[in-house]
């Protein structure tokens, strides 16, 4: 089955390359370092490195506590961090600078992965969260590079998709057999991986609970707050295409014009290539908007109805600035984005119905009173309005979020123990 998969992927490479170039029209980064996607690298060779693959921004940010711990334990081992998206790669540079090597993962053909292994000679591969690449895992097995899937999650929907078609099920089953260990976020994730054929599984928890908010960014966000003239802040975090229109319409419906003077709406889109588009949508909704990239002065903020967070890597500042956080990616069937950061910042969280990317964290947060899960954008904004008027309810949700994060720390140490075992077996 893997042979047929490889043949199909080879035939599709011209189409994939055209799509890559098409995406580069909206996001220039996709036309850079294309050779790396075919296993050709200019970076200096490495030897015995710890190789970590994180597909994009969220997964790359989740690597931070893990990478910091591994750097401290293995100062002599270089680290290679591969990505699939320009924003993921930019995040790697933002977080780690030149303390590690950043590169793109090649397309999933054995010969291309072989080139990467020849260049960087990894001692171990850690794949973050949900990436199951059959040829990558097979080449690592044949080249004696132990591969671990860490912080692993598998939604019910994804599991059903893998199980639905026999060829896909067979391909995934074969791939998981070549993984040294799956370090699952929860027992439910572990069971789904086990049903797909993973032979060795450990439940380690979610590394994202171990993330710490950047102190400088938190200080900056609190500084913005000091200049705000008697207004509360409603943050819509990590919005995706189609969600801004829903949230803006809901905001106009729920808040009367006079009430908007007491609330600053903050929208932080998930993808930077959409910043201009979202600024236009806010203006079309009849709201005056100030952009973070242009001005964040007290006068500019107080004169505006909305602030567009068109900056990268400043989510901790926006969270510190906010009273209420609506975590987006959850109002369309996209699975939601990271609510743990908002809980760690002590902010009440509201999410829509689609939370499968963070199913366990969302369940825990809802059960413990740190998050309100709603059916749609209108209900989200209505809930936000109610909470803005209820100091005691906000305090209770804030305390619950902080308690939730504190109780679920430790996944990094449990994951590192598995990595140590894999390295000692080399």
**Are residues 178 and 147 in contact, defined by beta-carbon separation less than 8 angstroms?**
yes
Nearest to 307, CA basis, from 235, 222, 381, 221: 235
Sign of the CA dihedral with 295 first, then 298, 299, and 303 last: positive
H helix or E strand, kind and range, residue 51: strand 49-53
Q: What's the number of CA atoms in the CB half-sphere (13 Å) around residue 352?
A: 24
User: d(Cα 326, Cα 175) in Å, to the nearest integer?
Assistant: 37
The strand ranges marked E within 194-329 are: 201-203, 232-239, 263-269, 289-291, 306-308, 324-327
Nearest Cα neighbor of 379 from 311, 318, 331, 344 is 331
Q: By C-alpha distance, which of 416, 410, 414 is closest to 70? A: 416
Is residue 234 a contact partner of residue 384, using CB atoms and an 8 Å limit? Answer: yes
Q: CA-CA distance, 130 to 54, in Å (whole number)?
A: 9
* DSSP run (H or E) holding 151: strand 147-152
Q: How far is CA 255 from CA 109, 171, 221, 357, 383, in A?
A: 53, 51, 24, 30, 12
59 classed as catalytic:
yes
Q: Are 10 and 83 in contact (CB under 8 A)?
A: no
CA distances from 59 to 42, 130, 418 (A): 24, 9, 19
Q: Which of 59, 64, 243, 360 is catalytic?
A: 59
- Both tokens of 223, joined, read 């500084």
DSSP class of residue 104 equals E
**Nearest to residue 303, comparing CAs of 294, 312, 313?**
294
CA separation for the pair 335, 23 (Å, rounded):
23
The residues annotated with a catalytic role in the active site are 59
């Amino acid at each position: 089955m893997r042979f047929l998969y490889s043949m199909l992927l080879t035939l599709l490479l011209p189409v994939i390359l055209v799509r890559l170039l098409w995406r580069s029209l909206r996001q220039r980064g996709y036309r850079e370092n294309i050779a790396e996607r075919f296993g050709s690298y200019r970076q200096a060779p490495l030897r015995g490195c710890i190789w970590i693959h994180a597909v994009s921004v969220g997964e790359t940010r989740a690597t931070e506590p893990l990478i910091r711990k591994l750097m401290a334990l293995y100062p002599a081992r270089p680290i290679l961090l591969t990505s699939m998206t320009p924003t993921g790669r930019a995040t790697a540079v933002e977080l780690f600078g030149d303390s590690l090597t950043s590169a793109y993962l090649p397309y999933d053909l054995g010969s291309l992965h072989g080139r990467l292994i020849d260049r960087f000679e990894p001692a171990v591969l850690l794949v973050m969260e949900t990436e199951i690449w059959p040829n990558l895992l097979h080449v690592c097995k044949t080249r004696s590079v132990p591969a671990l899937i860490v912080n692993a999650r598998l939604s019910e929907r994804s599991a059903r998709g893998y199980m639905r078609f026999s060829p896909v099920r067979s391909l995934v089953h074969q791939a998981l057999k070549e993984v040294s260990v799956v370090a699952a976020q929860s027992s439910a994730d572990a069971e789904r991986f086990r049903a797909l054929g993973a032979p060795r599984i450990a439940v380690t928890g979610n590394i994202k609970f171990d993330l710490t908010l950047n102190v400088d960014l938190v200080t900056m966000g609190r500084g913005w707050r000091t200049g705000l003239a008697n207004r509360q802040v409603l943050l819509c975090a990590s919005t995706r295409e189609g969600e801004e229109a829903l949230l803006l319409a809901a905001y106009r419906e729920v808040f009367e014009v006079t009430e908007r003077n007491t609330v600053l709406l903050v929208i932080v889109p998930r993808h930077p290539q959409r910043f201009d588009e979202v600024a236009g949508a806010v203006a079309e909704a009849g709201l005056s908007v100030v952009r973070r990239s242009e001005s964040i002065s007290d006068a500019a903020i107080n004169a505006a109805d909305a602030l567009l967070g068109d900056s990268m890597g400043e989510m901790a500042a926006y969270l510190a600035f906010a009273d209420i956080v609506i975590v987006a990616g959850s109002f369309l069937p996209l699975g939601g984005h990271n609510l743990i950061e908002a809980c760690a910042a002590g902010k009440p969280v509201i999410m829509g119905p689609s939370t499968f990317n963070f199913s366990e964290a969302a369940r825990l947060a809802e059960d413990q009173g740190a998050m309100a899960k709603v059916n749609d954008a209108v209900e989200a904004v209505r809930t936000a309005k109610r909470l803005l008027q209820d100091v005691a309810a906000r305090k209770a949700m804030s305390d619950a979020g902080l308690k939730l994060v504190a109780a679920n720390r430790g996944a990094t140490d449990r994951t590192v123990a598995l990595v140590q075992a894999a390295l000692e077996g080399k």
